[in-house]
Amino acid sequence: MAAGVAAWLPFARAAAIGWMPVANCPMPLAPADKNKRQDELIILNVSGRRFQTWRTTLERYPDTLLGSTEKEFFFNEDTKEYFFDRDPEVFRCVLNFYRTGKLHYPRYECISAYDDELAFYGILPEIIGDCCYEEYKDRKRENAERLMDDNDSENNQESLPSLSFRQTMWRAFENPHTSTLALVFYYVTGFFIAVSVITNVVETVPCGTVPGNKELPCGERYAVAFFCLDTACVMIFTVEYLLRLFAAPSRYRFIRSVMSIIDVVAIMPYYIGLVMTNNEDVSGAFVTLRVFRVFRIFKFSRHSQGLRILGYTLKSCASELGFLLFSLTMAIIIFATVMFYAEKGSSASKFTSIPASFWYTIVTMTTLGYGDMVPKTIAGKIFGSICSLSGVLVIALPVPVIVSNFSRIYHQNQRADKRRAQKKARLARIRVAKTGSSNAYLHSKRNGLLNEALELTGSPEDEHLTKTTSLIESQHHHLLHCLEKTTGLSYLVDDPLLSVRTSTIKNHEFIDEQMFEQNCMESSMQNYPSTRSPSLSSHPGLTTSCCSRRSKKTTHLPNSNLPATRLRSMQELSTIHIQGSEQPSLTTSRSSLNLKADDGLRPNCKGSQITTAIISIPTPPALTPEGESRPPPSSPGSTTNIPPIGSNIVKVSAL
C-alpha cells in the first residue's frame, strides 16, 4: 500500500460494508485510535529552511527517523520546531518521499552526499522510484568503480588471496599487466605473430634469380630457413593455445570463443601441411591452405584494444552495413543493366554481359575509374556520367550515417544489456514489495493477537508494543482480517516458514494445543512448490519447536470459552515468538530505542515483537537483523531467526 493511498484507507474500510451482511462469523475488533488527536502541522527546520507538513504524513513510515520518535531528539523547545543541521536540498526529496510515497534522485546531487543523507534519515535507497533508479544505480556504480580504482592503485603490491595455479594463469593471460611473467609472455607472442606475418609476406618476394629465366621467390630459395621459422612460430602458437585451453575456467566456452577459433585456423594449415606433403593431388589445395596463415594477423586483436572494439561495433552494426550493401547492390544492378543495353549496339564493346558491366559500375561509382572498360556510345557516356555522379552520393551519404549508427547502436546495446540485467532485479523488487505487504499483515496479525492477549491482562507495557505499528498499518491489517473472516479463508504467503505458521491459525483460530501441534507437523510436511522445500527442511528449528511442546500436558479446551482459549493459544504463539527472537533484536524498530531501561522485567515479551515491514517496501534489511543471510523475497520482515535448538524455551505466562 503506497503512502499516497493511505488517505484512502477510510474509504477502503467503509467499502467493507459489503462484506458484513455476508459474513458468517463475527468481525474482529477494530484497532482503537488511542491518541485521536487532530492532525497538526509540524515545522521542520533544516539548516534554516523551514518545511511544514502534517504529522500524519510523517507517520506513514514509522521505520524512518522522521516517522518515529527518534525525531524527538531534534526537537527544539525554544522554537517549538524540529531542527536538523543537514542539507535542505536533499531534505526536499526526502520530504517528498513521505508525501508521495516515491523517492526521487535529483541529477545534480552528488551520489555519496545523497547516500549519506538517506542513511541519516533512515531511508533505504532501494525504494527509489523506477523513474530515477537507473540514473542512481549508474552513478553509484561509477562511484564504486572509482573507489575500487583508488583501492587498487593503493594495493598494487599486495598479492591477492591465494588463487589456484590455473586461475593465476588465466588471469595472467587475460590481463598481461598483472605480473612480469605475463608481460614477457605477452610480448613474446606478439613478437612471434609479427615474425610469422612478415615471414608470410617476405616468402613471396622474388629474391635473386636461378640459372634459367625464372625468378625465384625467397620462400623457395631459402625453403629450409623459412620452414624452420614457420615451425618455430607454430610451435609457440600451439603451446600458447594449449596453455590457454588448460587455464580457461570454462573450456567449452573458450573453445567456442572467436579468439580461439582464430588461433586454431592460424595453426591448422601447418599441421595439415605436415600430414599431406607427399600427396601430389592435394598439394594444390595445400597451397591454398597457406592463405589461411594470414589469419595470424588477427591474433593481434588480443594485443590491441581498439581492434577488439572495432570488431564488436562491426558486429553490432551488421544490419546497417547489410542495408548499405543492399542499396549499393541495387544501384549497381540498375546501372549495369542500363550500361549493358546502352553499349550493346557499339562494336567491340567490352560490356559483354550484365555481370561484366558490374565491374564498370563499381569502379565508376566508387570514383576509381580504372579505364579498362569505357563506354563508347553517346547514350553509354551519358549514363556513365550519371552513374559516377550518383555513385558519389550513394557511397558518400551512408558513411556518416553508419558512423553515427556505430556510436548510437553501441550505446544502445550497452543500455539494453544493463536494463535486461536489472529487469530481473526490478521484478524481484516489485514482488518483494507485494509479499512484504502481505507479510506485514501476517506478522501484525500475530502481533495483534499477542497484543490483545496482553491487553486482557491489563499489562502496562502494551503501550510500547502497539506504538511500533502505525495506526494506518493496524487499520489496514484489520481490514484484511475482516476479509478473512468474511470468507472463512486466511491468507497464505509464498514463504514456507510463514505458511507453516499461518496455517496453524484456522478460521476459528483459537484451537487447542493438540490440533495446533498436528497442524504444525502436517503443514511442515505439506507439499509446497518444490523450490521451497529445501528451505523448509533446512530449518529444523521450527519443527522442533512444535514437537517440544508435546511434553506439555495437552488439555482439550472447548472453543466456547473464548478468553481462556485465546490466552492459551497466545501462550503458544508467544512461545514461538520468544524462541524466534532469542537474538537480541536491538534495532528492530526505531521506537524500541526509546523504551525505558527498566522494561527489562519482561524482556522476552518485547523481544517477541516483530516489526511490521513498511508496507510499500521490503523491510530495510539494515533495520531488521536477520540471523541467517536469506534472500529478501523470503520474508524480509520476519525476524524468524531460528535459534540453535539448545536454546531455552521461555514460557511467558500471559495470565
Partner 1 sequence: RNPGLGNPPRPTKKALKQRFLKLLPCCGPQALPSVSENSVEDEFELSTVCHRPEGLDQLQEQTKFTRKELQVLYRGFKNECPSGIVNEENFKQIYSQFFPQGDSSTYATFLFNAFDTNHDGSVSFEDFVAGLSVILRGTIDDRLNWAFNLYDLNKDGFITKEEMLDIMKSIYDMMGKYTYPALREEAPREHVESFFQKMDRNKDGVVTIEEFIESCQKDENIMRSMQLFDNVI
Q: By the criterion CB under 8 A, which residues form the site for partner 1? A: 1-2, 4-15, 17-27, 30, 32-33, 38-39, 434, 437-438, 476, 479-480, 482-484, 486-494, 499, 502-503, 506
For partner 1, the closer of residues 20 and 160 by Cβ is: 20
Least Cβ distance, residue 25 to partner 1 (angstroms): 7
Closer CB to partner 1, 2 or 649, in the complex: 2
Strand pairing class (81-84; 41-46): parallel
- Least distance to partner 1 from the beta carbon of 571, Å? 22
Give me 359's grid cell: 565491374
CB of 503 to partner 1, least distance (A): 5
CB 529, min distance to partner 1, A? 11
Q: Which residues contact 425 (CB under 8 A, 6 or more apart)?
A: none
Q: Which residue has the cell 524455551?
A: 649
Between 103 and 578, whose beta carbon lies closer to partner 1? Answer: 103
CB of 526 to partner 1, least distance (A): 10
62, 21 contact by CB (below 8 A): no
Q: How many CB atoms lie within 10 A of CB 185?
A: 17
Cell numbers for 637, please give them: 520482515
Burial class from Cβ neighbours inside 10 Å (0-12, 13-18, 19+) for residue 375 reads buried
The minimum distance between CB 519 and partner 1, in angstroms, equals 10
Q: Residue 76 belongs to what H/E stretch?
A: strand 75-76
| Nearer Cβ to partner 1 (4/584) | 4
User: Which amino acid makes up residue 185?
Assistant: F
Task: Report the length, in residues, of the chain.
Answer: 655
Pick from 571, 551, 601, 581: which is nearest to 648 by CA?
581
Q: From CA 14, how far away is CA 11, in angstroms rounded? A: 5
CB of 14 to partner 1, least distance (A): 4
CA distance 44 to 62: 17
Q: How far is the CB of 533 from partner 1 (least distance, A)?
A: 16
Residue closer to partner 1 by CB (options 22, 348) is: 22
DSSP state of 610: P
Cβ burial 434-458 (10 Å sphere, 16+ → b, else e): ebbbbbbbbbbbbbbbbbebbeeee
What residues have CB less than 8 Å from 145, skipping those under 6 apart? none
Query: Minimal distance in Å, beta carbon 576 to partner 1?
Result: 17
CA dihedral angle for residue 128, residue 132, residue 135, residue 137, rounded to 10 degrees: 20
Report the residue number, 32 or 207, with the smaller CB distance to partner 1: 32
Cβ closest to partner 1, residue 101 vs residue 375: 101
Compare residues 32 and 181 and give the one whose CB is closer to partner 1.
32
Residue 10 CB neighbour total at 10 angstroms: 10
Residue 585 or 616: which CB sits closer to partner 1? 616
- The conformation of residue 346, written as its DSSP 8-state character, comes to S
Which class for 499: exposed (0-12), middle (13-18), buried (19 or more C-beta within 10 A)? Answer: buried
Element (H, E) at 59: none
Please report the sign of the dihedral spanned by the C-alpha atoms of residue 428, residue 434, residue 437, residue 440. Answer: negative
C-beta of 502: minimal distance to partner 1 in Å?
7
Q: At what angle do helices 540-548 and 562-580 cross, to 10 degrees?
A: 140
By beta-carbon proximity to partner 1, the closer residue of 38 and 156 is 38
C-alpha 327/C-alpha 322 separation (Å) is: 9
| Choice between 32 and 396, CB closer to partner 1 | 32
